[in-house]
Amino acid sequence: MSDTAVNNRTPGELFKSFISIRWAWSYTGVVIVFLMVAMVSRSPFQTLAASISFASFFVLVGLGQMLVITNGPGNIDLSIPYTIALAGSFAMKVMGGMDSGIFMGILAGIAAGSAVGAFNFILIRFALIPPMIATLASSFIVRTLAIVFFRGMLIKPPRGLETFVNIKILQVPILFLLVVLLSFAVHLLLSRTAYGRGIQAIGQNTKAAWLAGVKVNYRKLITYTLSGMFAGITGVLLAAFSGGATLGMGDEYLLNSIAVVVLGGTSIAGGDSNVQGIIGASVLLYLIVNLLNIIGFGASLRYIVTGVVIVGIILAAGHGKGRK
């Protein structure tokens, strides 16, 4: 379409074009909820900054979950919460509270998460277990390992890493900026590489992708390993951010990792991913939580209201429509 044609479009046409972009709904939600926060809070920008900080972890696990979901129906990683706990605890144990151990600890956390992801694929590929069941079974194994080796202890991070993850630049958390850069890298991975185009093709039609020469199993191995790696990174950073690693620190990231992916515009049927939407959806979810906390809603009501908002946005964005 020429520039002249774009400039001649009516406001109504521009609005229809905007609302047809599924991931844009999450950012629209951020603006609306922030305006509501501004009406009930004396420090709305502090609330936004806090939401962005915590949203960074939603983005990280969302990126891994998105890659898995892109592989097609039934591909969901249910091992993420316990992978976070295991990787975070393992990393903090290796660091031993010493700044000199930060590098090795980060590598240990990433390796632990990646190992869980690769193990998930082994169960799926060689034990012929459906992905959801395989990752659920894996989560019980991972949780048991975490309990046996770390026994529920609060393992504190080194002061240097704790300070780093809490740094802000002009009230914007540096952690969030790094996560945005990582998201851009994942976007390039999906749009500019053979791996990215391959998993998109697998999600659209696995048999057709295989007949076209796509190495289906190889790409799925990479995908599940990356999902575990992102969970591992989340575990390390979350432990440093929250003052220590605990066995339950990943509990809230199972359903939320799926919610930010779908809310961000990725098709739950696979083959259609949207990295940019995950960032907006992650900020939106935490803004909603903070808004409801300010209003004084209890935990049960917060879950209900958040669920209703998610469903509403998904329906408005057209996610409920079947694929052609």
Spell out the domain ranges in the chain. Answer: 28-37+44-316
CB atoms within 10 A of CB 259: 21
Per-residue pLDDT at 316:
61
Looking only at Cα atoms, what is the longest distance across the chain? Answer: 66
Strands, DSSP E only, in 62-178? 168-169, 172-173
Instruction: Give the residue from 58, 68, 67, 80 showing the smallest Cα distance to 254.
Output: 80
pLDDT of residue 198: 93
For residue 18, what pLDDT is reported?
56
Residue with tokens 């190495």: 215
Among 33, 35, 88, 2, smallest CA distance to 282 is for 33
Full pLDDT tens readout for the chain, 324 residues: 455 555 566 665 555 565 567 777 788 888 998 999 999 888 888 888 888 989 999 999 999 999 999 998 889 999 999 999 999 999 999 998 899 999 999 999 999 999 999 999 999 999 989 999 999 999 999 988 888 887 766 788 999 999 999 998 888 889 999 999 999 999 999 999 999 999 999 999 889 999 888 899 999 999 999 999 999 999 999 999 988 888 889 988 988 888 899 888 888 888 888 898 899 999 998 898 888 888 887 767 767 776 777 677 666 655 544 443
The tokens describing 192, both together, are 């500019």
- HSE, CB side, 13 Å, CA atoms: give it for residue 207: 0
Amino acid (1-letter code) at residue 178:
L
Please return the burial class of 300, using the count of CB atoms within 10 Å of its CB with bins 0-12, 13-18 and 19+: exposed
CATH architecture of 28-37+44-316: Orthogonal Bundle (1.10)
Of 322, 313, 323, nearest in space to 22 by CA: 313
Which pLDDT score, from 0 to 100, does residue 49 have?
A: 87
